[in-house]
């Protein structure tokens, strides 16, 4: 076959290639014209241009229709690949196959997500996509948004103050709602009878905060009743808090899912706080450059499955 130079490439358009493939399938110009919404002369003209380009008749007229030449049969899979590539380019993505995908996913997450969501994600991926590795970074809020903007992470999971600065640059999707509970070791006396703010105020508390003493939801509810919270111990993260909790008389406010998932492991129990509101939302946030990434869309699907189980 004669080499095709740049000038010849400019003579090709997608309609010609589609006419060629339809003719290979139907073997009749009238059927091709009907399927593609073209006139029969338009189909004949496209085939003529192809014959000139490839210096081959491509299709021979027979009683039963058009018979492809040897060159036409050789060209068919190549033209199919060209049309498939054009289609994928227009759609903006290629197919994604989790079982065979090999990559690293960099996820920004803070204490709650590292304790509650990331372990489940790792376990899930070991089953459905063993060659995708998870790299978790202790990032949240503005730190996570900055890392997304710099391409340092692929996705961030957590609580965000909305609207996010530069929100048109990011896509935020709600994963689930969460609320706080009061937790303590299972045989703690605070669980005897009705849980009230007065009973809570009499206990010594454990506070989880990487920033030292802060006021949380419970503080504000007690302030409204003229009560104060007695903070005895402060730790920066959840797992040390859970370990302390099962071996002390301290009580702590935790996200409910953390208490549920770790109740048996750390021999703790929990009750809903006797206050209104306090619900917060966990979002997955990614950069708009990954809006149509099949990998990121698949990851979001997996995360939704995890949080709804």
Please write the tens of the pLDDT for every residue from 200-215.
999 999 999 888 887 7
Q: How confident is the model at residue 268 (pLDDT cuts 50, 70, 90)?
A: very high
Cα(216)–Cα(212) distance, rounded to whole angstroms? 12
What is the percentage of the chain residues whose pLDDT exceeds 70?
A: 94
Burial status of residue 294 (CB atoms within 10 A of its CB: 0-12, 13-18, 19 or more): middle
The answer to whether the beta carbons of residues 173 and 283 sit under 8 Å apart is: yes
Our CA dihedral for 132, 137, 143, 148, rounded to 10 degrees, sits at -10
Q: Which residues 6+ apart lie within 8 Å of 137 measured at CB?
A: 106, 107, 108, 109, 147, 152, 153
Q: Give, in order, the Cα–Cα distances in Å from 300 to each of 88, 150, 151, 171.
A: 21, 21, 18, 12
pLDDT at res. 2: 46
Q: Which residues 6+ apart lie within 8 Å of 249 measured at CB?
A: 184, 185, 188, 203, 204
C-alpha atoms less than 13 angstroms from C-alpha of 82 in its C-beta half-sphere = 15
C-alpha atoms less than 13 angstroms from C-alpha of 259 in its C-beta half-sphere = 22
Please write the tens of the pLDDT for every residue from 66-103.
999 999 999 999 998 888 888 767 765 556 788 888 88
pLDDT of residue 234 exceeding 60, the answer is: yes
The answer to whether the beta carbons of residues 140 and 168 sit under 8 Å apart is: no
The answer to whether the beta carbons of residues 242 and 262 sit under 8 Å apart is: yes
Task: Over range 176-185, report the average pLDDT.
Answer: 93
Q: Hey, is 48 helix, strand or coil?
A: helix
Task: Over range 150-158, report the average pLDDT.
Answer: 92
Identify the structural domains of the chain with CATH numbers, from first to last. 6-91 (1.10.10.10), 103-177+281-308 (3.40.190.10), 180-278 (3.40.190.10)
Comparing C-alpha atoms, which of 275, 97, 121 is closest to residue 197?
275
Please write the tens of the pLDDT for every residue from 48-69.
999 998 999 999 999 888 999 9
Choose the weakest-confidence range: 163-167, 187-191, 234-238.
163-167
C-alpha atoms less than 13 angstroms from C-alpha of 47 in its C-beta half-sphere = 27
Q: How confident is the model at residue 309 (pLDDT cuts 50, 70, 90)?
A: confident
Query: What are 117's strand-pairing partners?
Result: none
The answer to whether the beta carbons of residues 106 and 307 sit under 8 Å apart is: no
Cα(250)–Cα(199) distance, rounded to whole angstroms? 13
Query: Exposure string (b/e) for 20-48, b if CB count within 10 Å is 16 or more?
Result: bbbbbebbbbeebbeeeebeeebbeebbe
Please write the tens of the pLDDT for every residue from 215-233.
777 888 888 889 998 999 9
Please write the tens of the pLDDT for every residue from 97-153.
888 888 899 999 999 899 889 999 999 999 999 999 999 999 988 899 999 988 899
pLDDT at res. 91: 65
pLDDT at res. 1: 43
Q: How confident is the model at residue 5 (pLDDT cuts 50, 70, 90)?
A: low
Q: Which residues 6+ apart lie within 8 Å of 186 measured at CB?
A: 267, 268, 269
pLDDT at res. 117: 93
Please write the tens of the pLDDT for every residue from 277-305.
778 899 999 999 888 888 899 999 999 99
Cα(84)–Cα(178) distance, rounded to whole angstroms? 44
pLDDT at res. 85: 81
């Amino acid at each position: 076959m004669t080499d095709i130079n740049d000038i010849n490439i400019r003579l090709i358009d997608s309609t010609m290639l589609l006419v060629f493939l339809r003719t290979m399938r139907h073997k009749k110009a009238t059927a091709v014209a009907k399927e593609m919404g073209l006139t029969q002369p338009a189909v004949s003209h496209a085939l003529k241009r192809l014959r000139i380009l490839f210096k081959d008749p491509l299709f021979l007229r027979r009683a039963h229709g058009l018979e492809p030449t040897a060159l036409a049969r050789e060209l068919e899979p190549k033209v199919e690949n060209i049309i498939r590539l054009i289609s994928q380019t227009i759609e903006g993505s290629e197919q994604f196959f989790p079982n065979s995908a090999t990559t690293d996913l960099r996820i920004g997450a803070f204490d709650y997500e590292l304790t509650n969501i990331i372990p489940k994600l790792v376990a899930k991926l070991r089953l459905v996509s063993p060659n995708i590795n998870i790299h978790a970074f202790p990032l949240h809020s503005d730190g996570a948004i900055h890392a997304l903007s710099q391409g340092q992470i692929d996705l961030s999971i957590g609580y965000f103050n909305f609207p996010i600065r530069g929100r048109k640059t990011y896509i935020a999707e709600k994963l689930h709602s969460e609320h706080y509970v009061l937790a303590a070791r299972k045989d703690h006396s605070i669980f005897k009878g009705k849980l009230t703010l007065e009973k809570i105020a009499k206990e010594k508390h454990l506070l989880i905060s990487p920033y030292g003493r802060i006021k949380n939801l419970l503080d504000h509810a007690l302030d409204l009743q003229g009560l104060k919270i007695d903070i005895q111990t402060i730790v920066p993260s959840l797992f040390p808090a859970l370990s302390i909790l099962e071996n002390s008389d301290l009580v702590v406010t935790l996200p409910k899912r953390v208490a549920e998932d770790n109740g048996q492991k750390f021999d703790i129990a929990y009750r809903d706080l006797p206050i209104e509101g306090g619900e917060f939302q966990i979002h997955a946030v990614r950069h708009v450059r990954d809006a149509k990434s099949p990998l990121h869309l698949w990851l979001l699907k997996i995360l939704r499955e995890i949080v709804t189980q």
